[in-house]
Structure 1
């Protein structure tokens, strides 16, 4: 009898194990489904963060020639090869005045926007070296006629500031104007607004820079000379400050912006994003939240593909320069391209 009861007890114990395993299996399956759904939602969310403009269609064929691109060989025959050709990207930091977050960071009233920062990023063939050329926003240029989304076009204008192109005609006119003054085809367009930049710096854990003494009441930045760890709001103020350094012109600010670009590249390289999925998502969310691109970069997969093609590019191989300029004869508060130095610089990027 005792033996029978033990068998029964044993039988019940054995009978429980498949049930327990089934519950565990269902729980794991549920977690997998939820995990897959979360990944799918995250991908959808990041994709929908990105705004885009079809610049190629708007400008048509009246543009500088596109540089030839050469695909690299890949280990997998089924994988699309990564491009290795040279690339030129117009990067704008926009003084956006829309949205609560941008307004709190100094974006002004509720309408309009300006291109506060303009850089042409040239990536050499092989994609292991790059040159970042800053164009002072106070540069006087001839702004070409630009097509408008509503139809018609803006009027061509002479002796106007370069940043008026974005203000009047948006990304399309910004690209057309930069291509007109440089003779260089912009393969891509990337724009990030105030809040997007600040969120990106915060998601990366801040950024380390060494500065001179800065006291700028307009950008609300007060820094002593020496090293600093800046959060997003402070880094944005550093990128915008001009009155607390040098002669208060845009040229002094450009030097700070270029220093900040290299510091951010070093911060990204030193942050182990691939081993911290949660942080990787926060950085990706911040990077895409304030982003506007051309239609060639308006998906997460396209941005990732661009990033993969640049995996051999390190911050010490990024050269930062400013377009050569001189004081404009018509206005000592403005500058014009210094020739032939400016033309030689742009020719080297074609």
Structure 2
């Protein structure tokens, strides 16, 4: 079955339209290629045109992660029953629930108009609270983001996150950060794709946009406290970080499914008043942490650090106010 993101597959009927010479095909090993989508067939795969190729190129869909179609502007939905929709194959989108029958759900979307989906293809429909502010949605470029240099002999030469077609890519160790003005209660979500080993650290509520070496943090320039959510190929850890306080992990959630995947939808939840940080993966809440020493985050920024193992891509990043409610029950003991 194809592994393309839903937004791309919904637009397949536009293949060959003006502007698609800047479309991009993404491969599981982290490579990508510009060109134009000429055809798609479930059995034969993708037919791709490139200016430097004398004949169309053919790719097996098993080696692809995504096709990004250029030139499609994000539209706006009229006010309605806005929901987050998750499909059984892992795809997700937002749309207004327009109706339901014994066999189908109907959704109004900006990218495909009215969609009719079989009930058997829909895993979850989560109504979205009204009145909550969307703080950031993107990325559309790396403007406004700060690239940082990582100085650590154990993870090799430092590189940069590279923006391309709606996402940040990294192979070498790299750091990128931005002060997004995180509210006291926030919800951060994004698509993560990886090839090979995966080891990332997400600093939440940081007041510095430069990476911090945890092993020598006392020698770093002054910084306020933050939370480091560490995501690797088999688990998620939470670490409160303060300059002059010994490091103590608050607990680990094992994620065995990561070993069988190359992509996932991650969500981070935070609430200062409750001293709460939580993580969900593919719509399932895997862990909540309550910090017994009080909320450690002293800033309003985020920082994403790739430890230089494997290739990764982050896209569809959304930062919103959070009403404190979860969409589903936890799948891991709460600690």
Which interval holds the TM-score relative to the shorter structure?
A: under 0.3
Instruction: Please report the TM-score for the alignment, with normalisation by the length of structure 2.
Output: 0.24
Question: Greater share of strand residues, 1 or 2?
Answer: 2
Question: Greater share of helix residues, 1 or 2?
Answer: 1
Instruction: Please report the TM-score for the alignment, with normalisation by the length of structure 1.
Output: 0.23
Bigger Rg over Cα? 1
